[in-house]
Amino acid sequence: MLGRLNHVAIAVPDLAAASAQYRTILGAEVNEPQVLPEHGVTVVFINLPNTKIELLEPLDEASPITAFLAMNPSGGMHHLCYEVEDILAARDRLKAEGARVLGDGEPKIGAHNKPVLFLHPKDFNGTLIELEQV
């Protein structure tokens, strides 16, 4: 069911500073910030040869990233995103196995303009999982 690792997401308190670190210190290719109001975040993607890093900054106090940063003030690894061929088939299979899909269970459009779902971290060893349809 799972395809390749699409990205590792890192919540950050200061998107501009984190982007600059990756660009200047690590010499990475850093994309322009993208505001995603429906997810409550601004994102920046760092392009690597084998995957991407997604830096997440909350848009406001209602963002789920705000609560994460309250517990982890300097930021930290937020989720892993895996690609799937058919997100609805993946969702149905996971639910049949007892996994919890967050939100209303319906895919939303993510940062790559593709359908995404999130799976409860308690069902996956404490790790929030994002699935993205390719």
Q: In 3-state terms, what secondary structure has residue 76?
A: strand
Catalytic residue among 54, 57, 83, 130: 130
Q: What is the CATH number of the domain that holds 27?
A: 3.10.180.10
Condensed to tens digits (0 to 9), the pLDDT of residues 18-28 reads 999 999 999 99
DSSP code for 110 = -
**Amino acid of residue 116:** V
Condensed to tens digits (0 to 9), the pLDDT of residues 26-62 reads 999 999 999 999 999 999 999 999 999 999 999 999 9
With bands split at pLDDT 50, 70 and 90, how would you rate the model's confidence at 16?
Answer: very high
Q: Is 106 a catalytic residue?
A: no
Instruction: Provide the whole-model pTM.
Output: 0.94
Give the chain's radius of gyration (CA, Å).
Answer: 15
Angle at 83 between CA 129 and CA 22, to 5 degrees: 75
CA 16 and chain centroid, separation: 18
Residue 99 domain boundaries: 2-133
> In Å, what is the CA distance from 109 to each residue of 19, 47, 69, 77, 134?
24, 20, 24, 22, 12
How many domains is the chain built from? 1
